[in-house]
Structures are given as structure tokens and as C-alpha cells.
Structure 1
Amino acid sequence: MKTMKMRAVIIEDEELIAHELKQKVREVAPDLEIAATLPSLKVARRWLMQNAEPDLWLMDVQLSDGVSFKLFEEFSLGAPVVFTTAYDEYAVRAFKVNGVDYLLKPIENDELAKAVGKCRDIINTRQQYPAVVKDLLKSLQGEGRSGYTRYKQKFIVHTRDGWRPVNTDAVAAFEKDTLYYLHTFKGERFILSFESMDEIEELLDPGRFYRANRQWIISSEAIKTVRPLDNFKLVVTLSQPANRQIDISREKASAFKKWLDR
């Protein structure tokens, strides 16, 4: 029987891993055409608005600008997906329970071949795959999977020598100025590659970080003092950036107090 020709799209923010995955696909499924390799959610969104959906997705779970699951919330995707992940056993268990294919990095050729084969079966039998993905999203967003965290663990920052990762728990605040900056508890300030504070906020644990205003997202651990003003606004003084004062509007003051007094 003749093998059906399929088009696939890879979403992977590590260039070397994306290249290796593309090579492995060629080895295990020579008939599978790689229509595009997309490095971020932003690029994937733009691609989806300009192109028809492929027959198959190969998606990294954690991208530099968010989790790939966001695409299912924003677009009506119906093609089967093979997720690639370096997550722990709890997340892997969530994939398995929900019947969604996953590849644990580093990716092995035989596992990739099995995953592609399963996707062929899904396409040929026209199974209702999107419903399975919705179940996966629910479980990985905290509805019964206590072992999974969807918040960003590290940020890639720019330095004079290139870039380096900074653990999220080392971050005191995020600032919007002419560019977007990350401030650490050590007093360092680094440039980030983001286009809005909303993008950054979506990646953070709301139990630890608070969107104080349009310019600042602050860590609860960076707060030194909170001072009320006569107009019901608040002034928050941070430990880092050293003694920086951040205004909390009258409208947000009550919510901020509740957040701080959890």
C-alpha cells in the first residue's frame, strides 16, 4: 500500500535541536515533508495566520516565549501533535494518561518513528484528536495534576558576551523602559527579548509575582516596605533595584493588599 504524503511543522526554540529533529524525521519518515521550522510562539502565530495547518505538528512544550499549549487556545488546530519535552515523570505521565504522543529529550529514532506512525493512524482513521488535546490542556493546567508546573523556570538574558540563563527564583522584578529588563536580587539588570509585559506576565507564577503597573512586575520577596498615600494609592519600596519605589494605583491597592497578605 502506498504511504500517504504528509506535511509537518516543527516548533522548537533551540536551533541545534530543531536541526537534529529535522534530520531524524528524514531518516525515519522520508516521505514526511517539513513545511516549516518555527522558533517561537510569536513566529508560530504569524505562520498560522498565513498558512494552512499541516498534517502533523512536532512541538516543543516549553518555548522561550511561553508554552506551546497556548496555540490550542488561540487557534482551532485539528492535526495530531507529537510533543517534545524534557519535563519530569509527572508531566510525562499526564501525556500518557491522555493518549497524546510525546518524545522525551534526547529524542530516539525508534520512538520518533512510532510517534509518526501513530499520527498516520490518527489521520487515516480521522479520529477526533482535538478533544484529546483539550483533556491534556486541562490536566496540565492544574486540574488534577499536582506534579506539573506551567510557569517559566528560567529566562534567557542578553549580556556583553552573548546570553545566559537566569533562574526565575533569582528575579526581583521585571521592568519596561525603552526595552524590557530583568532585575536580579544581586542587583544585576539584563535585557530580555520580549515585546510586551503581558507576554512576561503570562509566564510567571501569580503567587510570587505581581503586575504592579504598566512598567513593573515585582516579586513578593523583593518588597521591603509598603506605604499608603492620602489618595489611597500605595508606594512599594523594593530591595532590588535598590530602594526603587513603585506606585500601586488606587484601583489596584485593595487587590495588591490581598495578594500580599495571602
Structure 2
Amino acid sequence: MPLSAVIVDDEQLARDELAYLLKNAGEVNVVAQGKNGLEAINLIKEHNPDLVFLDVQMPGLDGFGVIKKLLDKKVPLPKIVFATAFDQYAVKAFEVNAVDYLLKPFDKKRVAQAIQKARVQQDANATPGEKFETLVRMLESQKQPASKVLLKAVGRMFLVDQKDICYAWIEDGVITVVTAGTAGMEGQSNCRTLEELLDSLDTKLFWRAHRSYLVNINRIREVVPWFKSSYQLRMDDKKQTEIPVSRAQTKRLRELFGL
């Protein structure tokens, strides 16, 4: 009998590619697809699938956050196969905890192996919940970012605490980081992209409000309504800079502040 499965990924192309490979494998029936962590939780509750292919990095609630929410709500966990574009420390953790992973772009043989692992694990003694509690603890213990960030400005380099960063922005490939307060400083990061900078920061504290901006959630002074249901963020730097919130991130803003 085919395994029932749910696919959750914020990228439409990734969902389509995986659904195609699973259909060709002939052992999995995809019953639903979702594009974010909140949809993942609702779909798992609704369909109670045998297997969930879950993207690790999604805006808002990421793959690990989905697992934690399900555990907190005591929802029975299906088998989880993580999908990720990054072959990092988490990959070995998944294997040690009997959780498979797929690296993007997806490989036909690896997808088939993941399906087989899911079948083998169906009769395992340890429950998925027990394994994931161990996995989440392990990942959280390893995922602590450095508390300080190195910046450079006018021939010197200096360190700033993450909590003192107000926002960062990118222009012409150069990332400028601005610190908070009336004595705020500016410096350039060595990171090449905002994604790379965000990976080095506490993702519970920093948010990609716009494709050109990262903001420290705790350094937002005011949410300013803008035209056509859009918003700007007035920040806690000496200039009280106003940063646009992209339409794609408006929903996240409302979730953060209950708008």
C-alpha cells in the first residue's frame, strides 16, 4: 500500500519537482502540499499522513519550529524527511536520529532511499516524537549563533553585540550594519548576501522584512501604516530610519505584532 505524504516547501518549483519524483516512484500518494510552517501543522492534523517532506528553511516558522509546535500540541508525528539546500551539521544529526534528509536539487535515487527508510522505520520501537525531541535538543544546542558580529569602517574593525544591531541593508553588493541608539555606529559586514548574514545571527531576533533589509525585531520603535495596506518600520537608530516591509512579509509582520 502506498504511503500517504504531505509536501511542505516555500518554493513552488521544489514542491513540483518532489511531487513529480514521488509520483514516478509509485510508492507514495501525495495527499496535500503546503508552502509554510503554519500550513504544515494544519495539513498534518487534517490528513495524518504517513510521511511528511518538510523544508528546513522557510520564512516565519521553519521546519524545526513545525516539529516543536507539533510536540507541544501533542500531535502524533508522522515520519519526517527534511529537505535542505545546505549540507551542514544537521545532516548527520538527522541520520543519527533515524530521520532522513534530501539535499536540493533532489536526486531520484535519494528520494527512493528516503521512501525505503520511511517504510523500514514504521515498525521501529522508538516513536517519532521521542526521536525528534532528541533531534530538536541537539540542533538547538548546536545552533547558537556567535553573540558578536565583526564590522569594518574607515580602516578599522570592531565588534558589536547582536542585540545592539538595529538593522542591516544591502546596496550594490555591500552590506551596511547600523547599531541602535543616539550613539549608533555604521560598519560593513564581510558577508556577501543578507542570507549569509542572517545565517550568522539569531533568527529569533532578526527578520528579513524586505529583500534589501534585515531588522532587529526588538529595535523596531514604531510600525507605520503606509499606502495600499503596506507598512514601514521606524527603527531605533539615531536617524529613526524608516524601512519598508515587502508585501511578501506583511503577513509575518501582522503575526509578530498582532496587527
TM-score > 0.5, shorter chain as reference: yes
Q: CA deviation at 1:199?
A: 4.4
Which residue does the alignment assign to 1:13? 10
**Deviations 1:85-131 (Å, cap 9, x if unpaired)?**
12342232332333321111111111111011100111244642221
Superposed CA RMSD: 3.4
Whether the 8 Å CA contact 1:12–1:38 is kept in 2: the answer is yes
Q: CA deviation at 1:17?
A: 1.0
**Deviations 1:146-197 (Å, cap 9, x if unpaired)?**
588772787364xxxxxxx335379974853444545799864233534465
Other structure's SS at 2:47 match: coil
Which residue does the alignment assign to 1:39? 35
Other structure's SS at 2:31 match: strand
Whether the 8 Å CA contact 1:65–1:194 is kept in 2: the answer is no
Whether the 8 Å CA contact 1:174–1:180 is kept in 2: the answer is no
CA distance in 2, matches of 1:117, 1:74: 27
CA distance in 2, matches of 1:100, 1:72: 12
Higher alpha-carbon Rg? 1
Whether the 8 Å CA contact 1:154–1:166 is kept in 2: the answer is no
- Aligned residue pair count: 190
What TM-score does the superposition give when structure 1 sets the normalisation length? 0.60
Which of the residues 169, 177, 189 maps onto 2:244? Answer: 189
Question: 1:134-145 alignment to 2 at 5 Å?
Answer: 134-141=133-140, 143-144=141-142
Q: CA deviation at 1:138?
A: 0.8
Structure 1 stretches lacking a partner, 5+ long: 158-164, 202-213, 216-262
- 1:64 matched to 2:59? The reply is yes
- 1:151 matched to 2:206? The reply is no
Which residue does the alignment assign to 1:168? 214
Whether the 8 Å CA contact 2:6–2:30 is kept in 1: the answer is yes
Which residue does the alignment assign to 1:119? 118
CA distance in 1, matches of 2:86, 2:231: 28
Q: CA deviation at 1:60?
A: 0.1
Structure 2 stretches lacking a partner, 5+ long: 146-198
Q: CA deviation at 1:65?
A: 1.8
Task: Tell me which amino acid in the other structure corresponds to 1:97.
Answer: V
